Amino acid sequence: MPPDAPSGPVAARDAATIMLVRDAAFDGSPALEVCMLQRHLNSDFVGGAYVFPGGKVDDEDRTLAAEEACAWRSDADASAMLGVGSGGLAFWVAALRECFEEAGVLLAYRGDDVEGEGTVLEAHDAETRHRLAAMRVALNAGEMRFLDACRAEGLRLATDRVHYFSHWITPEPAPKRYDTRFFVAAVPPGQVPIHDDYETVDTVWVRPDDALARAEAGEFDLIFPTMKNLEAISRFATSGELLAAAAAVESVPTVLPRVVADERGFRILLPGDPGYAEAVGESPDGARGRAMTPSEVGAVVRTIGADGRAERPN
Q: What is the pLDDT of residue 302?
A: 65
| Annotated domain spans of the chain | 13-252, 258-311
Residues 6+ positions from 249 with CB-CB distance below 8 Å: 164, 165
Q: Are 163 and 21 in contact (CB under 8 A)?
A: no
CB 306 within 8 A of CB 228: yes
Cα 55 to Cα 65: distance, rounded to the nearest angstrom = 20
Task: Measure the CA–CA gap between 89 and 187, rounded to whole angstroms.
Answer: 20
- Helix runs in 200-269, H state only: 208-216, 224-233, 239-248
Which one, of 310, 94, 116, lies nearest residue 215 by Cα? 310
Alpha helices, H only, 19-113: 64-68, 75-82, 89-103
Q: Is the pLDDT of residue 309 over 50?
A: yes
CATH number for 13-252: choose from 2.40.50.180, 3.40.50.1860, 3.90.79.10, 3.40.30.10: 3.90.79.10
Is the confidence at residue 197, as pLDDT, over 60? yes
Q: Which of 15-24, 144-153, 187-196, 283-292 has the lowest mean pLDDT?
A: 283-292
| CA nearest neighbour of 230 among 310, 240, 189, 220 | 220
- Among candidates 151, 147, 143, which has minimal Cα distance to 97? 147
Question: What is the pLDDT, as a whole number, of residue 269?
Answer: 87
Confidence band of 49 (pLDDT split at 50, 70, 90):
confident
Between 285 and 191, the higher pLDDT residue: 191
pLDDT at 265: 73
Instruction: Please list the residues that pair with 167 across neighbouring strands.
Output: 181, 254
10 Å CB burial of residue 19 (0-12, 13-18, 19+) is buried
Among residues 222, 223, 283, 295, the alpha carbon closest in space to that of 10 is found at: 295
Task: Quote the pLDDT of residue 27.
Answer: 86
pLDDT at 274 over 70: yes
Residue closest to 306 by CA, chosen among 240, 250, 242, 234:
234
Question: What is the value of pTM for the model shown?
Answer: 0.89
pLDDT above 50: residue 6: no
257: pLDDT strictly greater than 50:
yes
State the average pLDDT over residues 159-183.
Answer: 91
State the average pLDDT over residues 58-80: 95
